């Protein structure tokens, strides 16, 4: 009637060990299945800008966002198992020179989306950078920011209610498509369509990024707004050579200058179909190159031409030289000198990653030549 104590102890110990091991495996498996990460990131970019017009007027100011708009962001990713993952990004712009929000009407004006991905690619839903904005690093050595003639023309940046698909890179080729819904009470035809192709092979890269946005059928001007961008660059070891071409009709007058506005908002909106300038196209050509003098020092130069295809004298030409010195992996000092020469009926202005709040306008822009000198620092965290 009595059990063997040694045998009973062995059985009890085995059961206990098996239970402990099973629990550990279960906990470990659950932890692996729900593995996730969240990152807080951002940048602070401040520079002193001096602008001078051929009219004689000049303005000097502390500005934000020469090459990286100051921002605060949160991004994360969770492994769902089976090769699937989910991710999100929330990002807000900041005016670091005075501590205010870049857009007081939005909490996260730059990006606010959630996505699902796997070996088949990635789908994102929400406000996000468009396909054109995402190609900035491939356009010129400024990453299409301060000093870039393509940037002076204007770049559509991001849109609300955007559904995007980004393919995996296969044999060097990546495909991207966006469909930004028009949820303003207007017809579905006012949605914004985007597509992009990027091919990278060793030191060579070529690609296309485009946007197409229609007006209502009963609008006074029904032509769609387009922005087509072709680019190519070559990495020669010490630097890169860049060539970019843009064809677009997204330029119009504002109170700041004859070409200081856009028909389709650069950071959201739809085409109203009320602007006659939609029938006026521009071609933008730009050639750029940079060279790494030292491991910490990079210099670059570019030249570009904005051509008014309507022959109304609304084009411009100009260029820039710049230097970037890395104090660390996160902190860079920079200096830019640029020149923009407006044709007699043009009114383009200098632009940066963030809007230049103390910019020239009106008669100091229209038909004028503008010189810019900027020195600043950007820190990434």
Q: Tokens at residue 340, please?
A: 């923009």
pLDDT tier, 274 (very low <50, low <70, confident <90, very high otherwise): very high
Give the DSSP H/E element, type plus range, for residue 149. Answer: helix 149-153
Position 346 confidence tier, pLDDT thresholds 50, 70, 90 = very high
25 domain residue, yes or no: no
Q: Is residue 374 part of a domain?
A: yes
Residues 6+ apart with CB under 8 A from 50: 58, 59, 60, 372, 373, 374
pLDDT digits (tens, 9 = 90+) for 185-201: 555 678 999 999 999 99
Q: Does 61 score more than 90 pLDDT? A: yes
Q: Please report whether residue 14 resides in a domain.
A: no
Tell me what the mean pLDDT of segment 222-239 comes to.
Answer: 97
Residue 266 pLDDT = 83
> What CA–CA distance (Å, rounded) separates 361 from 38?
43
CATH number at residue 199: 2.40.160.10
**Tokens 């659950």, residue located:** 30
Question: How far apart are alpha carbons 195 and 173 in whole angstroms?
Answer: 14
B/e letters for 108-121, b = 16+ CB within 10 Å, e = fewer, are bbbbbbebebeeeb
Task: Check whether 146 has a pLDDT greater than 50.
Answer: yes
The pLDDT value given to residue 95: 96
Which phi and psi (to 5°) does residue 52 adopt? -135, 130
Classify residue 18: in a domain, yes or no: no
Q: What is the 3-state secondary structure (H, E, C) of 229-279?
A: EEEEEEECCCCEEEEEEEEECCCEEECCEEEEECCCCCCCCCCCCCCHHHH
Over residues 56-65, the mean pLDDT reads 98
Query: Across-strand partners of 230?
Result: 208, 245
Whether residue 118 is predicted with pLDDT greater than 50 in this model: the reply is yes
CB distance 242 to 139 below 8 Å: yes
Nearest to 360 by CA among 348, 352, 345, 375: 348
**pLDDT band per the 50, 70, 90 thresholds, residue 16:** very low
* Residue span of the structural domain in which 231 resides: 34-380
Q: Would 171 be classed as within a structural domain?
A: yes
Structure confidence at residue 4 as a pLDDT band (50, 70, 90): very low
Q: Please report, rounded to a whole number, the percentage of residues in the chain having pLDDT higher than 70.
A: 90
Encoded tokens for 302 = 């570019």
Q: Which two tokens stand for residue 313?
A: 């004298």
Report if residue 287 sits inside a domain.
yes
Please state, as a whole number, how many other Cβ atoms lie within 10 Å of the Cβ of residue 98: 9
pLDDT value at 31 more than 80: no
Banded model confidence at residue 307, pLDDT cuts 50, 70, 90: very high
DSSP per position, 161-230 = EEEEEEPPPBTTEEEEEEEE---SSS-GGG-EEEEEEEEEETTEEEEEEEEEEPPPTTSS--PPEEEEEE
Is 240's pLDDT higher than 50? yes
The H-or-E segment that residue 321 falls in is strand 316-326
Who wins on pLDDT, 39 or 186?
Answer: 39
The answer to whether residue 13 scores a pLDDT higher than 70 is no
Task: Give the chain's domain count.
Answer: 1
d(CA 134, CA 154): 14
The answer, yes or no, to whether residue 254 has pLDDT greater than 80, is: yes
Within a domain: residue 73? Answer: yes
How many CB atoms lie under 10 A from the CB of residue 65?
Answer: 29
Q: Is the residue at 313 inside a domain?
A: yes
H/E run at residue 8? helix 5-33
């Amino acid at each position: 009637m009595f059990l063997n104590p040694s045998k009973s102890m062995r059985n009890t110990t085995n059961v206990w060990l098996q239970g402990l091991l099973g629990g550990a495996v279960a906990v470990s498996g659950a932890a692996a299945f729900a593995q996730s990460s969240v990152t807080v990131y951002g940048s602070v970019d401040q520079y002193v800008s001096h602008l001078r017009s051929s009219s004689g007027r000049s303005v000097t100011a502390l500005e934000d966002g020469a090459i990286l708009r100051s921002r605060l962001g949160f991004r994360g990713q969770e492994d769902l198992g089976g090769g699937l993952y989910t991710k999100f990004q929330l990002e807000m712009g900041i005016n670091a020179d005075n501590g205010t929000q870049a857009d007081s009407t939005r909490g996260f004006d730059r990006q606010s989306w959630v996505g699902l991905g796997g070996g088949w690619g990635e789908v994102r839903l929400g406000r996000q950078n468009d396909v054109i904005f995402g190609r900035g690093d491939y356009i010129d050595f400024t990453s299409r920011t301060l000093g870039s003639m393509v940037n002076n023309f204007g770049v559509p940046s991001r849109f609300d209610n955007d559904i995007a698909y980004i393919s995996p890179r296969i044999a060097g080729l990546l495909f991207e498509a966006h469909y930004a819904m028009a949820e303003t009470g207007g017809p579905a035809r006012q949605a914004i369509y985007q597509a992009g192709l990027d091919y990278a092979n060793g030191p060579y890269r070529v690609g296309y990024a485009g946007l197409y946005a229609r007006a209502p059928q009963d609008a006074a001007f029904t032509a769609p707004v387009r922005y087509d961008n072709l680019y190519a660059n070559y990495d020669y070891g010490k630097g890169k050579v860049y060539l970019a071409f843009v064809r677009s009709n997204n330029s119009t007058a504002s109170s700041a200058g004859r070409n200081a506005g856009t028909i389709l908002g650069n950071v959201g909106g739809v085409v109203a179909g009320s602007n006659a300038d939609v029938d006026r196209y521009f071609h933008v050509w730009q050639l750029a190159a940079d060279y790494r003098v030292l491991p910490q020092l990079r210099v670059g130069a570019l030249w570009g031409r904005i051509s008014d295809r309507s022959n109304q004298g609304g084009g411009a030409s100009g260029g820039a030289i710049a230097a970037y010195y890395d104090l660390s992996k996160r902190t860079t000092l920079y200096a830019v000198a640029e020149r923009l020469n407006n044709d007699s009926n043009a009114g383009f202005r200098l632009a940066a990653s963030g809007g230049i709040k103390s910019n020239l306008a009106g008669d100091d822009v229209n038909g004028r030549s503008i010189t810019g000198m900027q020195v600043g620092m950007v820190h990434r965290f």
